[in-house]
């Protein structure tokens, strides 16, 4: 039997007409990276070290014309397409074996319009790129909670962050987008232009085209915010959970807190006596001009003695980047999510027990408090469906050794299954998707069929696979 030592990328490239590749190279303003290029291995590497794929072509675009050329080439030669924005997607959809990667990571410009209080953001920008420019004017848009996250993937799947309860999802703050669709056309989508496409892009993921720029509404935020970041162990950890359940019931709209179960890091900022111990931590912020801003978290912390407390007023940009070092490039990641309607005793037991049994001390189990502005948008107004769920539980498996892949993935999947068995649980979130193994209706609920219709209109041949959950009718 014949064997080959060629990678999937090399095999796919060998089947393409040589002159076709040469033509696109000559017309491209950016860089075309092929498996034979010295830069190939670095160019195909993405944030999640678990993902090891070999594309045939990596098209590092310099502008929209390059994106159009790449889309046309992939369509004409029937190549699978992956789109790389900030490259932070856990499931690794930014790269594909044997296909064409449309890499936007060099397209990172951010332009603030102070008159309209909007910001125009290119598709390869990160949250940090946006915050750096908008905070010059004391403005921000609702994005995520890690500054190295890509704006594109976060927004297209909804986008929770520190400002969500006050200003909604990242997708809710979109005013318009420019998108290259499967036919190679550049379209603007907004409430009054290509409205069906605009509806789908707000929460439907990356299955509808390549978004080359996003226009967001801005809000007055910062430059400083009151930040909460405190850690508790032992009996205080259990008490902290109870405080959190009480606090979220009456939390003001301009404050938000993420609670997570973790293990105390072996860092000098923490007492050595508790290194590696199971812990509960609060991370959040409070904004606004209220005279009592210092007291917002008072009831949350009452009677508790933290083993470490980093709470203080800080620059909004510092809050946004506080977790960056916890998620370095090349670490191995498997994250899954599930929504819950209440933080019940049974749920708390699952969260704390799973944290204690985590095979990696780098992993966490998080409870996100949602609600607020997110819940006020009707479920069918955008593609994002799970607005009625006030909480989300995420299992973040983070580890270093490839030999431990199976045990860490199994831990996260079994934890999700334990939560799924509770009557308060349902649904999934597209930005914590595991390896995209969940069906579309878990992600999109009753919006799923409409998403299939939009997909069938703009991408009937399924050029853009996205997370694989939305397939056009013609491709069934």
d(CA 244, CA 346): 15
Domain boundaries, given as residue ranges, for the chain = 8-103, 110-220, 224-426
293 CB neighbour count, 10 Å cutoff: 17
pLDDT of residue 222: 87
pLDDT band at 3 (very low <50, low <70, confident <90, very high): low
d(CA 173, CA 368): 20
d(CA 405, CA 366): 21
pLDDT of residue 1: 41
97 CB neighbour count, 10 Å cutoff: 17
Structure tokens at 370: 């949602």
pLDDT tens, residue by residue, 375-428: 999 999 999 999 999 999 999 999 999 999 999 999 999 999 999 999 999 999
Structure tokens at 80: 């699978």
| Summary mean pLDDT of the chain | 95
Q: Which CATH architecture has domain 8-103?
A: 2-Layer Sandwich (3.30)
Alpha helix positions (H), 15-126: 18-27, 40-44, 64-76
pLDDT of residue 79: 97
- Asked if 127 and 62 touch (Cβ cutoff 8 Å), the reply is no
The alpha carbon of residue 278 and the mean position of all alpha carbons in its chain are separated, in whole angstroms, by 26
pLDDT of residue 289: 61
Structure tokens at 249: 């019931």
Residue 245 has pLDDT above 80, yes or no: yes
pLDDT of residue 293: 61
pLDDT of residue 4: 66
pLDDT tens, residue by residue, 459-473: 999 999 999 999 999
pLDDT tens, residue by residue, 123-165: 999 999 999 999 999 999 999 999 999 999 999 999 999 999 9
d(CA 386, CA 394): 15
- Asked if 440 and 470 touch (Cβ cutoff 8 Å), the reply is yes
d(CA 209, CA 203): 13
d(CA 465, CA 443): 15
Instruction: Give just the sign of the alpha carbon dihedral 18, 20, 21, 22.
Output: positive
Tell me the whole-structure pTM to 2 decimals: 0.95
Beta bridge partners of 461: none
- Asked if 228 and 240 touch (Cβ cutoff 8 Å), the reply is no
- Asked if 472 and 438 touch (Cβ cutoff 8 Å), the reply is no
d(CA 397, CA 231): 20
Question: What CA–CA distances, in Å, run from 254 to 135, 292, 349, 373, 401?
Answer: 18, 13, 29, 10, 40
pLDDT band at 87 (very low <50, low <70, confident <90, very high): confident
For the domain spanning 110-220, the CATH number is 3.30.465.10
Q: What length does the chain have?
A: 476
Backbone phi, psi, residue 303, to 5°: 75, 5
- The residue behind tokens 């799947």 is 157
Determine the average pLDDT of the residues in 345-371. 97
What is the signed CA dihedral for 121, 211, 152, 221, rounded to 10 degrees?
Answer: 30
d(CA 22, CA 96): 21
133 by Cβ neighbours in 10 Å (0-12 / 13-18 / 19+) ranks as middle
CATH number of 224-426, picked from 3.40.640.10, 3.40.50.2300, 3.40.462.20, 3.30.70.260: 3.40.462.20
Determine the average pLDDT of the residues in 208-218. 98
Residue 449 has pLDDT above 50, yes or no: yes
User: Could you check whether the bond before residue 128 is cis, i.e. omega within 30 degrees of 0?
Assistant: no
- Asked if 178 and 213 touch (Cβ cutoff 8 Å), the reply is yes
Residues with Cβ within 8 Å of 409's Cβ and at least 6 positions away in sequence, in order, are 334, 397
Task: Report the chain's terminal Cα–Cα distance, integer Å.
Answer: 34
Burial 454-464 (b: 16+ CB within 10 A, else e): bbbbbbeebbb
pLDDT tens, residue by residue, 258-294: 999 999 999 999 999 999 999 999 999 998 665 556 6
């Amino acid at each position: 039997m014949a064997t080959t030592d060629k990678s999937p990328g090399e095999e796919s490239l060998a089947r393409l007409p040589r002159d076709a590749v040469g033509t696109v190279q000559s017309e491209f303003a950016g860089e075309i990276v092929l498996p034979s290029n010295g830069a190939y291995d670095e160019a195909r590497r993405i944030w999640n070290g678990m993902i090891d794929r070999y594309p045939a072509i990596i098209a590092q675009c310099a502008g929209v014309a390059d994106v159009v050329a790449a889309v046309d080439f992939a369509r004409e030669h029937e190549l699978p397409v992956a789109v790389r924005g900030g490259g932070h997607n856990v499931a690794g959809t930014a790269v594909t074996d044997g296909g064409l990667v449309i890499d936007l990571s060099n397209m990172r410009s951010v332009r603030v319009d102070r008159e309209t209080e909007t910001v125009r953001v290119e598709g390869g920008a990160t949250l940090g790129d946006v915050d750096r420019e908008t905070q010059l004017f004391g403005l921000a848009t609702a994005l995520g909670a890690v500054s190295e996250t890509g704006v594109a993937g976060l927004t297209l799947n909804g986008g929770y962050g520190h400002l969500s309860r006050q200003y909604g999802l990242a997708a809710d703050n979109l005013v318009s987008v420019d998108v290259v669709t499967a036919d190679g056309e550049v379209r603007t989508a907004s409430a009054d232009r290509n409205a069906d496409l605009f509806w789908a892009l707000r929460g439907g993921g990356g299955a509808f085209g390549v978004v080359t720029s996003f226009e967001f509404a801005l809000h007055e935020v910062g430059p400083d915010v009151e930040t909460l970041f405190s850690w508790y162990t032992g009996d205080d950890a259990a008490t902290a959970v109870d405080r959190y359940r009480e606090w979220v019931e009456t939390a003001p709209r301009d404050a938000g807190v993420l609670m997570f179960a973790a293990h105390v890091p072996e860092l000098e900022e923490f007492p050595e006596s508790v290194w590696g111990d199971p812990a509960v931590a609060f991370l959040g912020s409070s904004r606004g001009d209220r005279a009592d801003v210092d007291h917002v978290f008072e009831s949350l912390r009452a009677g508790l003695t933290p083993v470490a407390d980093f709470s203080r007023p800080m620059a909004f940009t510092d809050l946004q980047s506080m977790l960056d070092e916890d998620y370095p490039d090349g670490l191995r990641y498997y994250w899954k999510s599930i929504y819950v309607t209440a933080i019940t005793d049974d749920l708390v037991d699952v969260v704390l027990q799973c944290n204690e049994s985590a095979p990696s001390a780098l992993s966490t189990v998080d409870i996100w408090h949602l609600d607020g502005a997110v819940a006020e948008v009707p479920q069918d107004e955008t593609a994002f469906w799970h607005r009625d769920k006030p909480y989300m539980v995420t299992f973040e498996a983070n580890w270093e050794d490839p030999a431990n892949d199976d045990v860490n993935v199994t831990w996260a999947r079994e934890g999700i299954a334990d939560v799924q068995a509770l009557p308060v649980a349902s649904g999934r979130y597209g930005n914590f998707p595991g390896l995209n193994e969940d069906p579309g209706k878990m992600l999109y609920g009753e919006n799923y069929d409409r998403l299939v219709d939009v997909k069938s209109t703009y991408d009937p041949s399924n050029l853009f696979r996205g997370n694989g959950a939305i397939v056009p009718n013609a491709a069934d």
